[in-house]
């Protein structure tokens, strides 16, 4: 399922205009959501659905009267609308649906509405609502990517299958939700607000507090101006507090409020319940008036560095997109970004590394941020990988880590030493060590980067991708002379896929551990020669019990801190660093001798590059 980033200028305001007083249009898609298109790029049959829950304020006890969906593909045939108690398999028929009808007339560039012959009362267990169609000829972009989606991804908001395949919920892919809404009929409550968390986990330092964002959805008929809420933790409920919204919240609209939550008195992990008790001073009639979040109270908060491990290779024609994405992260976030390019796509690659840990990538280019879900290294999970990176930056470090590395004279090994300090009681941390290199290039074909963008016009891609398109600096099918950064060239894993660094085991908050391990550099001549001209860094990765990277550190091999200033910043939004020589000249890469490093928050430190 390929994602198209080009946004359509289509909005949903017209969907909800034709309705009686006891009728409301409802769906996962919002009226102001911009839309985009996804598809398999070829002729196929598509089945598209959402799940309409029966235990929702808006749907409970209501009847399903009509459905409305957007389909712009000019070669869509055999269009059907349907409802079902479970997702139908095989070809659609009366035997595997509750109701099915042929849709003879499709409204191009507008919503197509279909009315049920008899209103259907939504049961407590809910109902699936969908539409299906066949693309007979994928001759236009609208036919290649005919499923119109948008908004924020939600569970059960985008259920798809093609041909006779299996159903899949595309929530994890972040494609948004299906452009489908249903017309509900019945009696709606006046005051019914349901809360949900913008994020599930928050952090605060002892003696301080943190802001918590809560999304409020108005499922009642009255416009909402204020709400009262309580907090419950360990069975103790706070007095009601009232929040006035910045503007009135209409029916089926969602708005976000921010409440301030105090930290606990000691380091702890608490589940807190937010309950919307009143709406406009009246009792909240919502079936779901509460939501929960986790508050981690810690002795101190420090930012964590973010690791982006990218699966790539010179033989991958789409991997220039990943190279651009990684460079964008590098330039945007500076020292907070630790990139590791894993060249495993093709063994003919001069930078091929056989013993990097297996992260189960499904294809190239792709990446994992702190070993989370697999995403595109340029587009991320939405439209910009930087957005995914920023989300990770909002999470403070649960463990403090630093690292240094010393090269032997033969330039065959690096003695790496990592320093680990948990900031919260935890167990089962493991340590991985790696070497990465910048400034690698070569002249043989093993260094040539395959490029599928070379014959595309530069007008078809974002500005930072134009260098790989027709007429660009690297606009050829095999890019020669490219300089590669963030390349993995060594690891603590052996050829059998076993990490050779001993597990850290259980560590208490404040306990420190020093771990040393000798990392081997590549022996292959083509890569070793490039390393002599490049810059080598040592990286320490602290992995938690869930297999995620809790924190990481990166340092230039043989770099020493001159004035003892810590390399740990306290600014969560530090995104860039700038290097200068002693004479004040700005440097694009570290140079031998003393470098002056100025952080985005104004902190300055001196480092010696040998």
Radius of gyration of the chain from its Cα atoms, rounded to whole angstroms? 28
| Of 422, 419, 373, the residue nearest 396 (C-alpha) | 422
Instruction: State residue 553's pLDDT score.
Output: 96
Instruction: State residue 108's pLDDT score.
Output: 73
Q: What is the pTM of this model?
A: 0.71
> Mapped to the 3 state alphabet, what secondary structure does 330-394 carry?
HHHHHHHEEEEEEECCCCCCCCCCCCCCCCCCCCCCEEEECCCCEEECCCECCCCHHHHHHHHHC
Average pLDDT over residues 348-370: 95
Looking at 254-268, 329-343, 500-514, 537-551, which range is the least confident one?
A: 500-514
Residue 135 CA to residue 240 CA, distance in Å, equals: 55
Give the H/E segment covering residue 271.
strand 268-279
Which three-class secondary structure state does DSSP give residue 320?
helix
> Mapped to the 3 state alphabet, what secondary structure does 54-105 carry?
CCCCCCCCCEEEEEEEECCCCCEEEEEEEEECCCCCCCCCCCCCCEEEECCC
Residues in CB range of 52: below 8 A, 6 or more apart: 26, 59, 64, 122, 126, 127, 128, 129, 182
Instruction: State residue 579's pLDDT score.
Output: 59
Q: What are 569-589's pLDDT values in tens digits?
A: 333 334 445 555 544 445 545
| Of 368, 221, 364, 351, the residue nearest 286 (C-alpha) | 221
End-to-end CA distance of the chain: 49
- Dihedral sign for Cα 256, 258, 263, 264, please: negative
Residues in CB range of 250: below 8 A, 6 or more apart: 218, 223
Q: What is the average pLDDT value for the chain, to the nearest integer?
A: 88
509 burial class (0-12, 13-18, 19+ CB within 10 angstroms)? Answer: middle
| Of 555, 591, 587, 573, the residue nearest 405 (C-alpha) | 555
Average pLDDT over residues 142-154: 91
Q: What are 418-457's pLDDT values in tens digits?
A: 999 988 766 689 999 999 999 999 999 999 999 999 999 9
Residue 571 CA to residue 4 CA, distance in Å, equals: 35
**Residue 36 pLDDT exceeds 60:** yes
Q: Which residue has the higher pLDDT, 409 or 14?
A: 409
Instruction: State residue 603's pLDDT score.
Output: 45
């Amino acid at each position: 399922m390929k994602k198209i980033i080009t946004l359509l200028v289509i909005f949903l305001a017209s969907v909800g205009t034709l309705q009686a007083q006891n009728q409301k249009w409802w769906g996962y898609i919002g009226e102001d959501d911009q839309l985009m298109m996804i598809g398999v790029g070829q002729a196929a049959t598509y089945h598209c659905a959402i799940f309409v829950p029966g235990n929702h304020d808006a749907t409970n006890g209501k009847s399903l009267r009509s459905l409305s969906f957007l389909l712009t593909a000019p070669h869509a045939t055999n269009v059907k609308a349907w409802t079902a108690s479970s997702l139908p398999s095989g070809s659609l028929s009366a035997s595997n649906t509750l109701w099915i009808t042929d849709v003879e007339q499709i409204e191009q560039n507008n919503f197509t509405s279909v009315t049920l012959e008899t209103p259907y009362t939504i049961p407590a267990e809910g109902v699936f609502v969908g539409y299906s169609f066949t693309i007979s000829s994928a001759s236009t972009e609208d036919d290649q990517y005919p499923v119109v989606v948008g908004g924020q991804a939600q569970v059960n908001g985008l259920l798809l299958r093609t041909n006779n395949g299996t159903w899949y919920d595309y929530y994890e892919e972040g494609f948004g939700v299906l452009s489908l809404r249903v017309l509900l009929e019945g009696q709606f409550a006046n005051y019914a607000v349901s809360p949900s968390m913008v994020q599930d986990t928050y952090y605060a330092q002892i003696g301080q507090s943190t802001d918590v964002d809560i999304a409020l959805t108005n499922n009642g008929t009255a416009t909402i101006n204020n709400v009262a809420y309580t907090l419950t933790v360990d069975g103790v409920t706070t007095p009601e507090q009232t929040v006035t919204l910045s503007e009135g919240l209409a029916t089926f609209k969602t708005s976000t409020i921010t409440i301030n939550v105090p930290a606990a008195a000691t380091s702890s992990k608490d589940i807190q319940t937010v309950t919307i008790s009143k709406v406009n001073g009246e009792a909240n009639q919502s079936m779901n008036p509460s939501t929960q979040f986790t508050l981690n109270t810690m002795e101190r908060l420090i930012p964590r560095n973010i690791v982006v491990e990218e699966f790539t290779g010179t033989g991958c024609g789409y991997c220039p997109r990943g190279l651009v994405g990684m460079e964008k992260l590098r330039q945007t976030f500076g020292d907070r970004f630790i990139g590791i390019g894993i060249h495993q796509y093709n063994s003919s690659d001069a930078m091929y590394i056989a013993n990097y840990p297996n992260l189960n990538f499904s294809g190239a280019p792709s990446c994992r941020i702190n070993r989370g879900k697999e995403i595109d290294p340029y587009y991320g999970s939405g439209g910009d990988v930087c957005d995914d990176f920023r989300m990770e930056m909002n999470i403070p470090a649960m463990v403090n880590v630093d690292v240094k590395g010393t090269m032997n004279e033969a330039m065959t090994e690096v003695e790496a030493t990592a320093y680990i300090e948990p900031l919260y009681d935890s167990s089962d941390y493991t340590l991985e060590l790696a070497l990465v290199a910048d400034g690698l290039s070569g002249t043989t074909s093993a260094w040539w980067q395959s490029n599928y963008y070379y014959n595309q016009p530069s007008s078809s891609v974002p500005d930072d991708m134009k260098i790989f398109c027709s007429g660009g600096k690297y606009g050829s099918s095999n890019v020669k002379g490219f300089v590669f950064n963030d390349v993995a060239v060594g690891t603590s894993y052996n050829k059998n896929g076993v990490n050779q660094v001993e597990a850290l085991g259980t560590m208490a908050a404040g306990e420190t551990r020093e771990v040393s391990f000798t990392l081997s550099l590549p022996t292959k001549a083509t890569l070793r020669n490039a390393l002599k001209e490049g810059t080598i860094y040592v990286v320490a990765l602290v992995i938690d019990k869930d297999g995620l990277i809790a924190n990481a550190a990166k340092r230039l091999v043989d770099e020493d801190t001159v004035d003892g200033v810590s390399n740990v910043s306290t600014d969560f939004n530090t995104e860039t660093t700038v290097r200068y020589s002693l004479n004040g000249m700005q440097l694009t890469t570290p140079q031998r001798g003393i470098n002056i490093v100025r952080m985005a928050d104004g902190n300055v430190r001196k480092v010696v590059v040998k």
